[in-house]
Amino acid sequence: MVARRDQTTDPVLLEGLLQARRGTAFFARKLNELTDAELDGASLLPGWTRRHVVAHVGYNARAIARLVEWAATGVETPMYPSVEVRNHEIDFGATLSPIALRNLFDHSAVHLNVEWRDLAADSWHHKVKTVQGRVVPAEETVWMRTREVWVHAVDLDNGASFADIPAPVLARLLKDITGAWKTRGTDKDLVVEVTDQPAALMFGDTAAVSPLEIRGSLADIACWAAGRGAAGVLARSGGKSVSPAPPAPEWI
Protein backbone atom coordinates (compact mmCIF):
# COMPACT_ATOMS: atom_id res chain seq x y z
CA MET A 1 0.00 0.00 0.00
CA VAL A 2 1.32 3.43 -0.95
CA ALA A 3 1.62 5.79 2.01
CA ARG A 4 -0.71 8.79 1.86
CA ARG A 5 1.07 12.13 2.17
CA ASP A 6 0.14 15.75 2.65
CA GLN A 7 -1.29 17.24 -0.55
CA THR A 8 0.51 20.54 -0.04
CA THR A 9 4.11 21.00 -1.13
CA ASP A 10 4.51 24.46 0.44
CA PRO A 11 7.69 24.14 2.59
CA VAL A 12 6.52 26.74 5.12
CA LEU A 13 3.19 24.99 5.58
CA LEU A 14 4.86 21.58 5.82
CA GLU A 15 7.17 22.90 8.53
CA GLY A 16 4.13 24.24 10.38
CA LEU A 17 2.40 20.88 10.13
CA LEU A 18 5.51 19.22 11.51
CA GLN A 19 5.49 21.50 14.57
CA ALA A 20 1.78 20.86 15.10
CA ARG A 21 2.28 17.10 14.91
CA ARG A 22 5.27 17.23 17.22
CA GLY A 23 3.23 19.26 19.68
CA THR A 24 0.41 16.73 19.50
CA ALA A 25 2.88 13.93 20.22
CA PHE A 26 4.34 15.91 23.12
CA PHE A 27 0.89 16.53 24.63
CA ALA A 28 0.09 12.83 24.20
CA ARG A 29 3.28 11.87 26.05
CA LYS A 30 2.53 14.19 28.98
CA LEU A 31 -1.06 12.93 29.10
CA ASN A 32 0.05 9.29 29.06
CA GLU A 33 2.42 9.95 31.96
CA LEU A 34 -0.59 10.83 34.14
CA THR A 35 -2.50 8.12 35.98
CA ASP A 36 -6.28 8.14 35.78
CA ALA A 37 -6.47 9.47 39.34
CA GLU A 38 -4.05 12.29 38.49
CA LEU A 39 -6.44 13.56 35.83
CA ASP A 40 -8.54 14.90 38.71
CA GLY A 41 -5.68 17.15 39.83
CA ALA A 42 -5.43 20.86 39.24
CA SER A 43 -3.94 22.26 36.03
CA LEU A 44 -2.09 25.55 35.68
CA LEU A 45 -5.32 27.20 34.51
CA PRO A 46 -7.44 28.67 37.32
CA GLY A 47 -10.66 26.72 37.83
CA TRP A 48 -9.66 23.92 35.46
CA THR A 49 -8.59 20.41 36.37
CA ARG A 50 -6.37 18.39 34.07
CA ARG A 51 -9.60 16.82 32.86
CA HIS A 52 -10.74 20.22 31.56
CA VAL A 53 -7.46 20.73 29.72
CA VAL A 54 -7.66 17.32 28.01
CA ALA A 55 -11.31 17.84 27.09
CA HIS A 56 -10.54 21.28 25.69
CA VAL A 57 -7.64 20.02 23.58
CA GLY A 58 -9.74 17.11 22.28
CA TYR A 59 -12.76 19.21 21.34
CA ASN A 60 -10.47 21.87 19.90
CA ALA A 61 -9.15 19.31 17.41
CA ARG A 62 -12.70 18.53 16.34
CA ALA A 63 -13.50 22.23 16.01
CA ILE A 64 -10.42 22.92 13.89
CA ALA A 65 -11.21 19.86 11.76
CA ARG A 66 -14.58 21.48 11.00
CA LEU A 67 -12.75 24.52 9.63
CA VAL A 68 -10.57 22.30 7.44
CA GLU A 69 -13.71 20.56 6.16
CA TRP A 70 -15.14 24.01 5.39
CA ALA A 71 -12.05 24.84 3.35
CA ALA A 72 -12.28 21.50 1.51
CA THR A 73 -15.99 21.57 0.67
CA GLY A 74 -16.91 25.26 0.62
CA VAL A 75 -19.78 24.46 2.99
CA GLU A 76 -19.68 26.78 6.01
CA THR A 77 -18.93 24.69 9.09
CA PRO A 78 -18.25 26.85 12.18
CA MET A 79 -15.92 25.73 14.94
CA TYR A 80 -18.76 25.97 17.47
CA PRO A 81 -22.36 27.22 17.34
CA SER A 82 -21.42 29.69 20.10
CA VAL A 83 -18.87 30.33 22.84
CA GLU A 84 -21.46 29.09 25.34
CA VAL A 85 -21.73 25.76 23.53
CA ARG A 86 -17.93 25.51 23.50
CA ASN A 87 -17.73 26.09 27.26
CA HIS A 88 -20.52 23.60 27.97
CA GLU A 89 -18.75 21.02 25.82
CA ILE A 90 -15.54 21.38 27.82
CA ASP A 91 -17.38 21.11 31.15
CA PHE A 92 -19.17 17.99 29.91
CA GLY A 93 -15.95 16.48 28.58
CA ALA A 94 -14.31 16.92 31.96
CA THR A 95 -16.87 14.49 33.42
CA LEU A 96 -16.01 11.64 31.04
CA SER A 97 -14.40 8.47 32.31
CA PRO A 98 -10.61 8.44 32.05
CA ILE A 99 -10.63 6.02 29.11
CA ALA A 100 -13.24 8.06 27.26
CA LEU A 101 -11.30 11.26 27.89
CA ARG A 102 -8.09 9.70 26.57
CA ASN A 103 -9.95 8.33 23.54
CA LEU A 104 -11.40 11.79 22.87
CA PHE A 105 -7.89 13.22 22.61
CA ASP A 106 -6.52 10.33 20.52
CA HIS A 107 -9.37 10.05 18.04
CA SER A 108 -9.83 13.79 17.54
CA ALA A 109 -6.11 14.26 16.92
CA VAL A 110 -6.13 11.51 14.27
CA HIS A 111 -9.24 13.00 12.63
CA LEU A 112 -7.67 16.46 12.39
CA ASN A 113 -4.44 15.03 11.01
CA VAL A 114 -6.32 13.18 8.28
CA GLU A 115 -8.27 16.32 7.35
CA TRP A 116 -4.99 18.25 7.04
CA ARG A 117 -3.30 15.46 5.08
CA ASP A 118 -6.11 15.18 2.54
CA LEU A 119 -6.74 18.89 2.02
CA ALA A 120 -5.98 19.83 -1.58
CA ALA A 121 -3.04 22.17 -2.04
CA ASP A 122 -5.15 25.05 -3.39
CA SER A 123 -7.76 24.68 -0.63
CA TRP A 124 -5.31 25.78 2.06
CA HIS A 125 -5.92 29.36 0.90
CA HIS A 126 -9.70 29.15 1.24
CA LYS A 127 -11.10 31.48 3.91
CA VAL A 128 -12.71 30.23 7.13
CA LYS A 129 -13.88 31.98 10.29
CA THR A 130 -12.56 31.33 13.80
CA VAL A 131 -14.73 31.27 16.92
CA GLN A 132 -13.51 34.84 17.64
CA GLY A 133 -14.87 35.94 14.27
CA ARG A 134 -11.51 36.31 12.48
CA VAL A 135 -11.58 35.44 8.79
CA VAL A 136 -8.36 33.56 8.00
CA PRO A 137 -6.98 31.19 5.34
CA ALA A 138 -7.25 27.51 6.22
CA GLU A 139 -3.49 27.36 6.66
CA GLU A 140 -3.96 29.38 9.87
CA THR A 141 -5.59 26.29 11.43
CA VAL A 142 -2.14 24.74 11.67
CA TRP A 143 -0.84 27.53 13.90
CA MET A 144 -4.07 27.56 15.91
CA ARG A 145 -3.55 23.91 16.77
CA THR A 146 0.21 24.23 17.29
CA ARG A 147 -0.31 26.87 19.95
CA GLU A 148 -2.98 24.81 21.70
CA VAL A 149 -1.08 21.54 22.02
CA TRP A 150 2.28 22.97 23.07
CA VAL A 151 0.96 25.45 25.63
CA HIS A 152 -1.65 23.13 27.10
CA ALA A 153 0.93 20.36 27.49
CA VAL A 154 2.56 22.73 29.98
CA ASP A 155 -0.84 23.41 31.58
CA LEU A 156 -1.14 19.72 32.51
CA ASP A 157 1.42 20.62 35.19
CA ASN A 158 3.30 17.34 35.26
CA GLY A 159 6.79 18.37 34.28
CA ALA A 160 6.53 20.12 30.92
CA SER A 161 7.76 23.70 30.66
CA PHE A 162 8.06 26.43 28.06
CA ALA A 163 11.70 25.36 27.66
CA ASP A 164 10.34 22.20 25.98
CA ILE A 165 8.58 24.23 23.29
CA PRO A 166 10.58 24.78 20.06
CA ALA A 167 12.01 28.29 19.68
CA PRO A 168 10.10 29.05 16.44
CA VAL A 169 6.82 28.24 18.20
CA LEU A 170 7.77 30.40 21.20
CA ALA A 171 8.76 33.31 18.95
CA ARG A 172 5.47 33.23 17.05
CA LEU A 173 3.50 32.84 20.26
CA LEU A 174 5.22 35.88 21.73
CA LYS A 175 4.52 37.85 18.56
CA ASP A 176 0.82 36.91 18.84
CA ILE A 177 0.64 37.92 22.48
CA THR A 178 2.45 41.22 22.14
CA GLY A 179 0.40 41.98 19.03
CA ALA A 180 -2.78 41.51 21.06
CA TRP A 181 -1.44 43.86 23.72
CA LYS A 182 -0.63 46.49 21.11
CA THR A 183 -4.07 46.23 19.53
CA ARG A 184 -5.71 46.78 22.93
CA GLY A 185 -3.23 49.40 24.08
CA THR A 186 -2.33 47.37 27.17
CA ASP A 187 1.40 47.49 26.45
CA LYS A 188 1.70 51.19 27.33
CA ASP A 189 4.97 51.88 29.21
CA LEU A 190 5.92 48.20 28.92
CA VAL A 191 9.05 46.99 27.13
CA VAL A 192 9.81 43.28 26.81
CA GLU A 193 13.27 42.08 25.80
CA VAL A 194 14.33 38.54 24.91
CA THR A 195 18.01 38.21 25.73
CA ASP A 196 19.09 34.73 24.62
CA GLN A 197 18.55 34.97 20.85
CA PRO A 198 21.26 35.79 18.25
CA ALA A 199 19.63 39.22 17.89
CA ALA A 200 17.82 40.63 20.92
CA LEU A 201 14.06 40.80 20.41
CA MET A 202 12.20 43.88 21.66
CA PHE A 203 8.43 44.17 22.05
CA GLY A 204 6.01 46.65 23.57
CA ASP A 205 6.10 50.39 24.02
CA THR A 206 9.71 50.92 22.95
CA ALA A 207 9.18 54.70 22.77
CA ALA A 208 8.24 54.93 26.46
CA VAL A 209 10.37 57.40 28.47
CA SER A 210 10.31 55.46 31.73
CA PRO A 211 9.04 51.97 30.93
CA LEU A 212 8.59 48.86 32.99
CA GLU A 213 11.30 46.63 31.50
CA ILE A 214 10.88 42.86 31.42
CA ARG A 215 13.93 40.82 30.40
CA GLY A 216 14.65 37.11 30.12
CA SER A 217 15.14 34.10 27.88
CA LEU A 218 12.68 33.39 25.09
CA ALA A 219 11.13 30.52 27.06
CA ASP A 220 10.84 32.52 30.30
CA ILE A 221 9.45 35.61 28.55
CA ALA A 222 6.90 33.56 26.61
CA CYS A 223 5.86 31.80 29.81
CA TRP A 224 5.41 35.16 31.58
CA ALA A 225 3.61 36.76 28.63
CA ALA A 226 1.20 33.80 28.44
CA GLY A 227 0.36 34.21 32.11
CA ARG A 228 2.03 31.02 33.27
CA GLY A 229 4.49 32.46 35.81
CA ALA A 230 7.47 34.79 36.09
CA ALA A 231 10.31 32.40 36.97
CA GLY A 232 13.55 33.56 35.38
CA VAL A 233 12.14 36.94 34.38
CA LEU A 234 13.82 40.16 35.53
CA ALA A 235 11.83 43.37 35.92
CA ARG A 236 13.07 46.94 36.27
CA SER A 237 11.25 50.25 36.55
CA GLY A 238 12.88 53.66 36.96
CA GLY A 239 16.28 51.99 37.10
CA LYS A 240 15.31 49.80 40.05
CA SER A 241 14.59 46.10 40.24
CA VAL A 242 10.99 45.04 40.73
CA SER A 243 10.42 41.75 42.49
CA PRO A 244 8.35 39.78 41.88
CA ALA A 245 7.79 40.80 38.28
CA PRO A 246 4.30 42.21 37.71
CA PRO A 247 1.91 39.90 35.82
CA ALA A 248 1.67 40.34 32.07
CA PRO A 249 -1.37 42.00 30.49
CA GLU A 250 -4.13 39.59 29.48
CA TRP A 251 -3.94 38.41 25.89
CA ILE A 252 -6.98 36.17 25.40
Residue 120 belongs to domain with CATH number:
1.20.120.450
Asked if 208 and 190 count as a contact pair (C-beta separation under 8 A), the reply is yes
Look up residue 107 and give its DSSP letter: H
CATH number, domain of 238, equals 3.30.1050.20
Same domain membership, residue 52 and residue 173 = no
Q: Which tens digit of pLDDT belongs to each residue from 74-98? A: 999 999 988 899 999 999 999 999 9
Taking each helix axis from N to C end, the angle separating 50-73 and 98-118, rounded to the nearest 10 degrees, works out to 30
Domain count, the chain: 2
* 229 within some domain: yes
Task: Please state the pTM of the whole predicted model.
Answer: 0.93
Same domain membership, residue 141 and residue 38 = yes
* 144 within some domain: yes
Q: What is the C-alpha radius of gyration for the chain, rounded to an integer number of angstroms?
A: 19
Q: Which tens digit of pLDDT belongs to each residue from 18-41? A: 999 999 999 999 999 999 999 999
Same domain membership, residue 176 and residue 87 = no
CA-CA distance, 123 to 137, in Å (whole number)? 9
Give the number of C-alpha atoms closer than 13 A to the C-alpha of residue 50, restricted to the C-beta side.
Answer: 23
Domain of residue 197: give its range. 167-242
Same domain membership, residue 211 and residue 133 = no
pLDDT band at residue 3 under the 50/70/90 scheme: low
Asked if 216 and 231 count as a contact pair (C-beta separation under 8 A), the reply is no
pLDDT at 131: 86
Same domain membership, residue 225 and residue 117 = no
Classify burial at 130, counting beta carbons within 10 Å of its beta carbon; exposed 0-12, middle 13-18, buried 19 or more.
middle
